[in-house]
Amino acid sequence: QTTKAETNGSESCLKEQSCLPLGGQSVWASLPPMSNASAEHQKPIIMVVASQDSASFFRDRSLGADSPISGLIALLTAVDALSHLHDLGKLKKQLVFAAFDGEAWGYLGSRKFLQELDEGDDSVNGINSSMIEQVLEIGSVGKGISQGDTLFYAHASRNSSISKKILDGLQSGSDSLGSDNVKVKPAASSNPGVPPSSLMSFMRKNTSTSGVVLEDFDSQFSNRFYHSHLDSPANINSSSIAAAAALVARSLYILATGDMTVDLMTLNTIKVNVTLVEELIGCLLTCDPGLSCGIAKSFISPSNACPSHYVGVFQDSPSSTQFPSYADDTSRFIWNFLADRTSTLASNVSSCTVKCNNESEVCVGGEVEGGGRCVVSTTRYVPAYSTRLKFEDNAWHVLPANSSDPMGAADPVWTESYWNTISLRVYAVQSTTSDRLILLAGLAVTAASYLGVVVGRAYISKITKRD
């Protein structure tokens, strides 16, 4: 009854346009780019995912430094480290990176991504769900350093041979880092399963999915500022994020080689840019410089320098193209960053502002003054909103729960009240001196009034007796 009442309430307010559905834009990219984004002759896919949104009591202060932005920064840094390798196309497996939006609200992004895969939409052209062999999620990794040691925990979805391969890959990646002393351990077997994560969406969709969530905790969640404005840069350690990125980058290279012999010389050249980690923290988690930082301004023209990772709302139809009108600053920055780092140079270098002539090319940095450049990259936006919503006849409609879909039955419909104009009146607090002067003036008026009453009564009494 509770679920039905909530659904009816959401449907009613959506029809009356007194509320709007929560939603945003997820981003995915392949490394290296997929040839013509075709699923033919596709290699097995290793999905590497992270969340890009958070929540807090004050939506504009939804930073989520440790949970989940530390994982997002580690993912972006790992992509940067791997992008410097040559001949990635010769590896046995295809790397696909995804940053899901709306995960703080019922895993909107990952659920919608999987639905788009089932329906074969253009936003996921080039990916076949049956080819997703392994899923590695980077969770909270900003607090992995304790007493000088760097330690992460790998939470496996199920006890399978594929999960064991991922764990072995992470261990081999850790061993290859040698003196950097980055350790990884399997999470305690007594844990009831994986922690709340996007991986759960994959598992609910397909119970045979094998994956691992990399976290900075074992059995007890360690972020006491979760979904709070206090989950700020002061709550994370940049060295921990850099260590996680190095571990992930090397482990992915090892996993992607499959049954091939790992090239140790190439493996040892995979190093993360620590300066990039620091810069991304400044860009995504502070107001100074915020999204006015150099790397962000080379890609986008931000609407606000102060970052906020609240998912936002859809005001009208979710765009089916790769140029969504409601992509927020964070999504646009991630899209441009991934498109740039996973790209190869186009045959004919040309400038652009929105799109390129060749279908396999995308326009990176098209927002900035002077235009961007066309590169070959398989980077896509995927709308992130409830799988039980449909936009039709210029209005949102709530679809009934699909009992045959293990995800749809539990998929909530999150909405936000539609505010036309919000105003605020502020009153300045007077100084203590003013308050004291007013009090003295009041006392003086009271004393003068009392004196006037006494004198007046005496005068009237005197006149009356004389008469």
165 with 306, same domain: the answer is: yes
Residue entry with tokens 């064991």? 164
- Residue 354 is encoded by which pair of tokens? 């929105």
Q: Cβ contacts of residue 80 below 8 Å, gap of 6+? A: 272, 273, 276, 341
Digit-coded pLDDT (tens) for 425-454: 888 888 889 889 999 999 999 999 999 999
256 with 325, same domain: the answer is: yes
Read out DSSP for 6-30? HHHHHHHHHHTTSEEEB-EEEEEEE
Q: What is the pLDDT of residue 417?
A: 85
Q: Cβ contacts of residue 297 below 8 Å, gap of 6+? A: 291, 368
Q: What is the pLDDT of residue 31?
A: 94
313 with 456, same domain: the answer is: no
Task: State mean pLDDT over 86-102.
Answer: 93
The yes-or-no verdict on residue 276 having pLDDT over 70 is yes
Task: Classify residue 8: in a domain, yes or no.
Answer: no
Task: State mean pLDDT over 147-161.
Answer: 87
93 with 186, same domain: the answer is: yes
Cβ-contact 115, 402 below 8 angstroms: no
Cβ-contact 289, 283 below 8 angstroms: yes
438 with 343, same domain: the answer is: no
Task: Classify residue 411: in a domain, yes or no.
Answer: no
331 with 461, same domain: the answer is: no
> Would you place residue 408 in the very low, low, confident or very high pLDDT band (cuts 50, 70, 90)?
low
320 with 451, same domain: the answer is: no
What is the rounded distance in angstroms from the CA atom of residue 399 to the CA atom of residue 413? Answer: 10
Bridge partners of 31, per DSSP, are 95
Residue entry with tokens 């807090």? 56
Q: Mapping DSSP to helix (H, G, I), strand (E, B) and coil, where does residue 39 land?
A: coil
Task: State mean pLDDT over 94-99.
Answer: 97
Q: Cβ contacts of residue 86 below 8 Å, gap of 6+? A: none
Task: Classify residue 335: in a domain, yes or no.
Answer: yes
The yes-or-no verdict on residue 254 having pLDDT over 80 is yes
Domain that holds residue 298: 23-347+377-385
Digit-coded pLDDT (tens) for 382-400: 999 998 888 888 888 888 8
Strands 145-146 and 182-186: unpaired
How many domains, the chain?
2
Task: State mean pLDDT over 149-171.
Answer: 90
